Amino acid sequence: MSLLEIKDLHAGFEGTEIVKGVSLTINAGEVHAVMGPNGSGKSTLSKVLAGHPSYEVTQGSIIYKGKDLLELDPEQRALAGIFMGFQYPVEIPGVNNAEFLRLAYNAQLVSKGEEELDPLDFDELLDEKMKLVGMDPKYKDRFLNDGFSGGEKKKNEILQMAVLNPSLAVLDETDSGLDIDALKVVSEGVNKWINKDNALILITHYQRLLNYIQPDFVHVFGQGKILKSGDKNLALELEKQGYDWVVTETAN
């Protein structure tokens, strides 16, 4: 059974259809890169997967671990092991970063019928994960994303992923806003997380990220559809020739 099976998905925002018939199958142990110009439907796909209430699915189906994903609300999706790394993580002043992570971690434990972790034990786990993604421990006691730089916000998303250890992670332009050193550290963190039982969807504009996280598949989005799929060489080709090349090729 595939981990995720998207069939003929049509979805949009405020009545405008943005994703216009996407089918995609993802198995455990796979890394999929989704590339494509702005407005091609990449981010809409990620929002739909996470269950953002402003996005509407008008046609098609998404089966996750054998269940109809569209029947689940965002909270249930997260508890079922889907993680969304946001392109623009929101700032939440007043809410402590470590407390937020512990809330999320414990919500998972509770949904599995396990005991919650107390703050001290969680703190140990958090320290370890922060090391993994190269984050300064001072961010534990900061308010969630509040006043973080773009790069810090992205690192914080990866930290959350490392703590929550999802089955399927969707990282929406996690590389944008990261300088080259941060990109390396974050990629290392992601690579350490990847194993045969989980899967990753990387949404990105740039081939650069794929030097650090090797995709098994690359999909090029355009006009709300997958125009072309291939292996990592497709990303290199894109880097050389630009998106227009795929668009022209597909049109022909």
- 5 vs 68: CA distance, rounded Å: 10
Q: Is 66 in the site for other proteins (CB under 8 A)?
A: no
- Smallest separation, CB 71 to other proteins (Å): 15
Q: How far from chain centre, in Å, is Cα 159? A: 12
Q: Is 104 in the site for other proteins (CB under 8 A)?
A: yes
Q: Of 106 and 223, which CB lies nearer to other proteins in the complex structure?
A: 106
- Smallest separation, CB 110 to other proteins (Å): 9
- The two tokens of residue 121 are 């034990």
Q: Which residue in the set 22, 48, 62, 164 belongs to the binding site for other proteins (CB under 8 A)? A: 164
The span of 73-81, 184-192, 208-216, 227-235 binding other proteins (CB under 8 A) equals 73-81
Dihedrals phi, psi of 87, to nearest 5 degrees? -70, -40
Question: Any alpha helices (H) in 112-222, and if so which ranges?
Answer: 119-132, 150-164, 180-193, 208-212
Q: Which residue in the set 11, 26, 50, 199 belongs to the binding site for other proteins (CB under 8 A)? A: 50
Q: Is 113 in the site for other proteins (CB under 8 A)?
A: no
Q: Which residues pair with 171 in a beta bridge?
A: 85, 202
- The two tokens of residue 111 are 């949904």
Q: Is 69 in the site for other proteins (CB under 8 A)?
A: no
- 137 vs 96: CA distance, rounded Å: 13
**Pairing label, strands 199-203, 217-222:** unpaired
Q: Which residue in the set 32, 42, 77, 153 belongs to the binding site for other proteins (CB under 8 A)? A: 77
The span of 20-28, 69-77, 211-219, 241-249 binding other proteins (CB under 8 A) equals 69-77
- 82 vs 76: CA distance, rounded Å: 9
Q: Which residue in the set 41, 51, 189, 222 belongs to the binding site for other proteins (CB under 8 A)? A: 51
DSSP SS3 for 105:
helix
Task: Please name the residue that has the structure tokens 């045969």.
Answer: 196
Q: Of 164 and 190, which CB lies nearer to other proteins in the complex structure?
A: 164
Q: Is 99 in the site for other proteins (CB under 8 A)?
A: yes
Q: Is 184 in the site for other proteins (CB under 8 A)?
A: no
Q: Of 74 and 242, which CB lies nearer to other proteins in the complex structure?
A: 74
Q: Is 44 in the site for other proteins (CB under 8 A)?
A: no
Instruction: Yes or no: say if 219 and 50 are a contact pair by the CB < 8 Å rule.
Output: no
Instruction: Yes or no: say if 242 and 232 are a contact pair by the CB < 8 Å rule.
Output: no
Residues touching other proteins, count (CB under 8 A): 31
Q: Is 244 in the site for other proteins (CB under 8 A)?
A: no
Closest CA to 161 of 92, 88, 99, 104: 104
Residues that bind other proteins (CB under 8 A): 50-54, 73-75, 77-79, 83-84, 86, 89-90, 92-96, 99-100, 103-104, 107-108, 111, 143, 160, 164
